[in-house]
């Protein structure tokens, strides 16, 4: 029984052992960040190379060995491991192998005699924690010749935008030889080819998008010559170049549209780019119209050339206006001095010191002529070369009539790739100018009547009594005195004016009063009614008859109330506030 159990355990163990071994092998094959300990923030560096840097060795076929300060990953941050190392001069496809201590680099046929080799490790190599090289590492060694301190350096930019291009490949081919020295631009678009032999080189830069180490037709590219002592002798030369890349194109530029910039200039747009350093003197432009006589082109300019021309024209006009203003001021000062001292001949301005109008106008700079083709190329954009544009400017010798159809024909255009024969025909018209803005302040002032009393006539005659201005009290119609409500003022029909009081008669003066129409009625701090039966302010009119209500006072006729030389006396309080009629009249 025990033997059977033992045999069963052994069988199960024999079945589990291969599974455990497979799991362990899978775990070792999967690369991962080492667990435990503080995180690593330091990038790897090359601490040893074979051959040694700047050493002279015999030709060899063995690989170049690079040892790092720590274990590196076999997966670079970009591209493949073979693409992370560049060997110059190139002799074929580079093969890079990953080892526990570093990298080994091989080239087909080995490292031949008669060259200064440069092995460049690009900053895509990273350690197990993802820390990449801070900058490219370069290893120089020679298989025979001396190290000549020649260098060709520069930048690679996009021809259309002017922006620097990183990871662009730069090949320097020796004239009459198949030897090609290679470099790759850094993050700022800078490249450097060091220790080149003397000779004439042709630089070819391109964006190697498919990473086949060749400039394909669809990849942006550009070329520049570089001469390093063409006599073949050793030299100490440094050349700095700028290589602009542009995708190839075999089609000519076609006319897209025309925009009227102002009354005498047109902006012509194309479907392709133009070389801003190539003059446009060969471009032919014809403007026609069936309705009016069309102006003729005066100049065809690049946008930066047109901007320089307009700026020079504005400066010239400003100087001319300044001269005219100074001449006018000098004449005014001369006249003022002559009028101040008519008998003093020395006070007048010296005619020799005062410029004549013709001389003053001649002293002003004449308006500049349109820029010569290519002359504006010196006007660089942001301190660098002007960027390529899809437009050019046409300056006309006359004014375009608004809302009149025109047609422009353009021919003999050469695009930025050097393909000529471009052009086309487009119709356009100048829009009508916008109407002048309305004077809203003046319109509002005209629409609101003045808040004033009409002015009197020149002879002193007052304005008509029926003239009513803004914010006036309408004239009250004639109504019975008993119909006037309390706490109001009855205004005669012919005395309507804005917030005013009718003119007082000569013999009626009262403090804070509105004079009555009668001349013999004077009362202090009262408002005289226009009629004898009017009710005084702050009272309620009594109904007809003897039915006087409480809190009212009956006002007799004015003539009976006050007589010359006599004083009036109010009834006693008991009679004034009694409901019964007064027993005696006021004396």
Cis peptide leading into residue 89 (ω within 30°): yes
Other C-beta atoms lying within 10 Å of the C-beta of residue 105? 22
Whether 472 is in a domain gets the answer no
- pLDDT on residue 103: 95
- Are 505 and 582 contained in the same domain? yes
Provide the CATH number for the domain around residue 312. Answer: 2.60.40.1220
The pTM for the full model equals 0.55
| Structural domain ending residue among the three candidates 225, 245, 265 | 245
CA dihedral angle for residue 480, residue 483, residue 488, residue 493, rounded to 10 degrees:
-30
- Are 221 and 283 contained in the same domain? no
Whether 31 is in a domain gets the answer no
- Are 186 and 206 contained in the same domain? yes
Whether 572 is in a domain gets the answer yes
Burial of 220: CB neighbours in 10 Å, binned 0-12, 13-18, 19+: buried
Whether 446 is in a domain gets the answer no
Whether 498 is in a domain gets the answer yes
- Are 417 and 489 contained in the same domain? no
Look at residue 137 and tell me whether its pLDDT is greater than 80. yes
- Are 490 and 422 contained in the same domain? no
Average pLDDT rounded to a whole number, residues 66-79: 92
Other C-beta atoms lying within 10 Å of the C-beta of residue 434? 6
- Are 126 and 190 contained in the same domain? yes
Provide the CATH number for the domain around residue 63. Answer: 2.60.40.10
- pLDDT on residue 435: 84
| Structural domain ending residue among the three candidates 227, 245, 263 | 245
Which of these, 101, 94, 41, 103, lies nearest to 76 by C-alpha position?
Answer: 103
Query: Buried (b) or exposed (e) across 409-418, using 16+ Cβ within 10 A?
Result: ebeebbbbbe
Average pLDDT rounded to a whole number, residues 81-100: 91
Beta bridge partners of 389: 274
- Are 216 and 269 contained in the same domain? no
Whether 121 is in a domain gets the answer yes
Average pLDDT rounded to a whole number, residues 535-557: 47
Contact call for residues 209 and 79 (beta carbons, < 8 A) = no
- Are 239 and 263 contained in the same domain? no
- Are 558 and 503 contained in the same domain? yes
Q: Residue 461 — pLDDT band, cuts 50, 70, 90?
A: low
- Residue with tokens 């030389």, as numbered in its chain: 565
Domain coverage including residue 142 = 46-245
Beta strand 151-158 pairing with 238-245: parallel
Average pLDDT rounded to a whole number, residues 319-326: 87
- Are 116 and 200 contained in the same domain? yes
pLDDT tens-place string over residues 28-48: 444 555 565 677 788 999 999
| Structural domain ending residue among the three candidates 224, 245, 266 | 245
- Total domains present in the chain: 3
Average pLDDT rounded to a whole number, residues 493-499: 46
Whether 542 is in a domain gets the answer yes
pLDDT tens-place string over residues 249-275: 889 999 999 999 988 999 999 999 998
- The residue ranking higher by pLDDT, 409 or 368, is 409
CA distance 156 to 347: 71
CA distance 145 to 196: 11
Whether 7 is in a domain gets the answer no
- Are 548 and 522 contained in the same domain? yes
- Are 125 and 170 contained in the same domain? yes
Determine the distance from the C-alpha atom of residue 44 to the mean position of all C-alpha atoms in its chain, rounded to a whole number: 45
494 backbone dihedrals φ, ψ, rounded to 5°? -100, 15
Determine the distance from the C-alpha atom of residue 442 to the mean position of all C-alpha atoms in its chain, rounded to a whole number: 35
Look at residue 427 and tell me whether its pLDDT is greater than 60. yes
């Amino acid at each position: 029984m025990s033997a059977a159990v033992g045999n069963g355990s052994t069988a199960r163990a024999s079945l589990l052992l291969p599974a455990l071994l497979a799991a362990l092998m899978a775990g070792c094959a999967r690369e991962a960040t080492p667990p435990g300990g503080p995180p690593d923030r330091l990038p790897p560096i090359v601490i040893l190379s074979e051959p040694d840097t700047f050493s002279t060795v015999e030709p060899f076929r063995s690989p170049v060995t690079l040892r790092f300060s720590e274990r590196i990953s076999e997966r670079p941050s970009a591209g493949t491991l073979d693409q992370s190392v560049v060997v110059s001069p190139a002799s074929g496809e580079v093969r890079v192998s990953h080892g526990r201590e570093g990298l080994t680099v091989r080239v087909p046929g080995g490292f031949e005699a008669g060259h200064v080799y440069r092995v460049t490790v690009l900053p895509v190599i990273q350690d197990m924690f993802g820390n990449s090289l801070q900058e490219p590492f370069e290893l120089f060694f020679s298989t025979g010749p001396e190290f000549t301190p020649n260098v060709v350096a520069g930048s690679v930019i996009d021809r259309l935008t002017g922006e620097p291009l990183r990871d662009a490949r730069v090949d320097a081919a020796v004239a009459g030889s198949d030897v090609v020295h290679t470099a790759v631009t850094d993050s700022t678009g800078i490249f450097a080819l060091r220790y080149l032999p003397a000779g004439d080189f042709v630089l070819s830069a391109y964006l190697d998008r498919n990473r086949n180490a060749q400039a394909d037709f669809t990849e942006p590219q550009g070329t520049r010559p570089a001469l390093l002592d063409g006599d073949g002798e050793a030299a100490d030369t440094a050349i700095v170049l700028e290589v602009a890349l542009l995708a190839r194109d075999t089609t000519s530029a076609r006319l897209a549209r025309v925009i009227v910039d102002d009354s005498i200039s047109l902006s012509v747009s194309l479907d392709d780019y133009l070389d801003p350093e190539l003059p446009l003197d060969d471009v032919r432009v014809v403007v026609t119209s069936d309705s009016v006589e069309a102006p003729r082109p005066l100049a065809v300019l690049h946008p930066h050339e047109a901007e320089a021309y307009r700026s020079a024209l504005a400066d010239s006009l400003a100087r001319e206006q300044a001269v005219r203003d100074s001449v006018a001021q000098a004449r005014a000062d001369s006249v003022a001095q002559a009028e101040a001292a008519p008998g003093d001949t020395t006070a007048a301005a010296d005619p020799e010191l005062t410029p004549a109008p013709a001389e003053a106008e001649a002293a002003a700079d004449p308006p500049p002529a349109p820029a010569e083709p290519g002359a504006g190329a010196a006007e660089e954009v942001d301190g660098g070369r002007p960027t390529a544009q899809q437009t050019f400017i046409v300056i006309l010798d006359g004014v375009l009539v608004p809302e009149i159809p025109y047609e422009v024909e353009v021919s003999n255009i050469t695009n930025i790739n050097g393909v000529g024969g471009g052009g086309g025909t487009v119709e356009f018209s100048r829009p009508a100018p916008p109407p002048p803005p309305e004077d809203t302040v003046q319109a509002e002032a005209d629409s609101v009547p003045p808040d004033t009393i009409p002015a009197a006539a020149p002879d002193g005659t007052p304005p008509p009594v029926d003239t009513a201005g803004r914010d006036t009290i309408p004239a009250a119609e004639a109504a019975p005195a008993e119909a006037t409500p309390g706490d109001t003022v009855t205004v005669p029909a012919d005395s309507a004016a804005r917030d005013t009081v009718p003119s007082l008669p000569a013999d009626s003066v009262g403090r804070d009063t509105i004079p009555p129409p009668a001349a013999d009625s004077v009362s202090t701090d009262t408002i005289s009614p226009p009629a004898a039966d009017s009710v005084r302010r702050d009272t309620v009119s009594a109904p007809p008859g003897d039915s006087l209500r409480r809190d009212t006072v009956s006002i007799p006729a004015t003539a009976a109330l006050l007589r010359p030389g006599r004083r009036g006396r109010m009834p006693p309080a008991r009679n004034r506030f009694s409901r019964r009629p007064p027993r005696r009249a006021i004396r």
